[in-house]
Amino acid sequence: MPLEPSTPVDPRTPRADAQRNRDRILAEAAALVAEQGTQASLRDVARRAGVGLGTLYRHFPTREDLLEALLGRRFDHLAARADTLAATEPAERALTDWLYEFTLDAGAYQGLPATLMATLEDPESALYAGCLRMRQAGGRLLAAAQRDGLIRPDVTPLDVFALANALSWITDRAPTLTERRDHLFRLVLDGFRPRP
Amino acid sequence: MPLEPSTPVDPRTPRADAQRNRDRILAEAAALVAEQGTQASLRDVARRAGVGLGTLYRHFPTREDLLEALLGRRFDHLAARADTLAATEPAERALTDWLYEFTLDAGAYQGLPATLMATLEDPESALYAGCLRMRQAGGRLLAAAQRDGLIRPDVTPLDVFALANALSWITDRAPTLTERRDHLFRLVLDGFRPRP
DNA sequence: ACCTGAACACCGTTCAAGT
DNA sequence: ACCTGAACACCGTTCAAGT
């Protein structure tokens, strides 16, 4: 009969030093990605966090894993926000307001629109689930607006996701056009409305 | 009194070996960029062309210089095409046909939409002139369509350039959506039309 | 004039050796 | 279990030395 372990160990409770390293990595990653975008050097992140390069890779095997850790909460918030809007606003306002907020969030980091868009091609990406939740949240608002005849029936959740990311990308690559952002947003959204 | 040079040298006629190197670099660059996109390794280009790395940099000091050499003819063709369409087609058709062709060309190489868009922020880029020609060509077609009341007056040539690039970018990052390309194109263009 | 390639300062990723 | 950093195979860019 096996001995009880002298100190009870919950496998889900990581060692204290591991947890501390993870936190440091995340803090520095948040700072560096905010500064330099999603393509920031992982070496730099490890350096600034004061951990070995291997430690970073152990905690976050891919760049997407790291980004997911940075963005997860934001995704959750945005998904919940869709349901709030659906419950409190008319269908069209709910859709447009949510899409606008999504567009802002997708531009939170330089390079993020490209990262999110590329996720569509890679279901194994750590960001895939988050993007899917965004597409589903947007899809629910879209369906409601379509049910009311406010949005063309041939617009899919994927169309919406792609175009919202594309709008974020415009100001991502050409910050000069930030002043044009709201206008471009309205222009694209008008294309979703049925021709009378 | 200075001697005449023994062989008359036109400074605009480069040395034969230089010209040959230039041609080789361009040929290999075209192939590699077609394979791997605008971010293809310049080292690889030099290697494949059989020239030293310094030779590549001498002929094309920046990546944009190289891309301009690859894309210049395409820009010229597209600018001329705008005038042909303006002369032969109704204003709206001319605009939409041209924009569609531009969108295809902007997606000629992987990564090209991002490269073109970034050019807006850098007037010193070798690609700036070509992009400007595209914006002007599109601008003329846009103005004609607006004069006929077919396109909203608050759409600018820059809006059109940005959105056309954004459409190219969608299929650039997510090839899966290529089947959706024409649909997305129509959607965005419908946003340009005046609300009745 | 033009070409070459070593040199420099970076990457991402892996993995043997340590505690 | 977890951490470290050297090792490997790449980059872009510059520039001294060659012809």
**Best CA proximity match to B33, nearest among B7, B71, B3:** B71
pLDDT value of residue A13: 74
**Best CA proximity match to A138, nearest among A100, A183, A89, A195:** A100
For tokens 């617009």, the residue is A155
**Best CA proximity match to A190, nearest among A78, A92, A89:** A92
Q: Is A54's CB less than 7 Å from nucleic acid strand C?
A: yes
pLDDT value of residue B1: 39
pLDDT value of residue A19: 87
pLDDT value of residue A12: 62
User: Using H for helix, E for strand and C for coil, what is the string for chain A?
Assistant: CCCCCCCCCCCCCCCHHHHHHHHHHHHHHHHHHHHHCCCCCHHHHHHHHCCCHHHHHHHCCCHHHHHHHHHHHHHHHHHHHHHHHHHHCCHHHHHHHHHHHHHHHHCCCCCHHHHHHHHCCCCCCCCHHHHHHHHHHHHHHHHHHHHCCCCCCCCCHHHHHHHHHHHHHHHHHCHHHHHHHHHHHHHHHHHHCCCC
Q: pLDDT digits over B57-97, tens only?
A: 999 999 999 999 999 999 999 999 999 999 999 999 999 99
Any B CB within 8 A of A108 CB: no
Long-range contacts of B134-138 (CB under 8 A, 24+ apart): B134/B75, B134/B78, B134/B79, B134/B102, B134/B161, B135/B160, B135/B161, B136/B79, B137/B78, B137/B79, B137/B81, B137/B82, B137/B83, B137/B98, B138/B82, B138/B95, B138/B98, B138/B99, B138/B102, B138/B164
Distance CA A149, CA B55 (A): 62
Any A CB within 8 A of B188 CB: yes
pLDDT value of residue B56: 98
**Best CA proximity match to A113, nearest among A67, A155, A51, A148:** A67
**Best CA proximity match to B28, nearest among B9, B44, B39:** B44
pTM of the model: 0.93
Any A CB within 8 A of B179 CB: no
Rounded mean pLDDT of B154-183?
A: 98
pLDDT value of residue A9: 45
Nearest protein residue to nucleotide D14 (CA to C1' distance) is B54
Give B140 to chain A, closest Cα distance, Å.
20
Q: Where residue B3 falls among pLDDT bands split at 50, 70, 90? A: very low
Q: Where residue B24 falls among pLDDT bands split at 50, 70, 90? A: very high
Q: Is B53's CB less than 7 Å from nucleic acid strand C?
A: yes
Mean pLDDT per block of 10 residues along chain A (196 residues) reads 42 76 97 98 98 97 98 96 97 98 98 98 97 97 98 98 98 98 98 92
Q: Where residue B19 falls among pLDDT bands split at 50, 70, 90? A: confident
Structural domains of chain B sorted by starting position, each given as residue range(s) with its CATH number in brackets: 14-61 (1.10.10), 62-192 (1.10.357.10)
Give A43 to chain B, closest Cα distance, Å.
21
Q: Verify whether the Cβ–Cβ distance A167 to B170 is below 8 Å.
A: no
Which CA distances in Å does A78 have to A38, A116, A130? 20, 15, 10
Does the structure show a pLDDT above 60 at B5? no
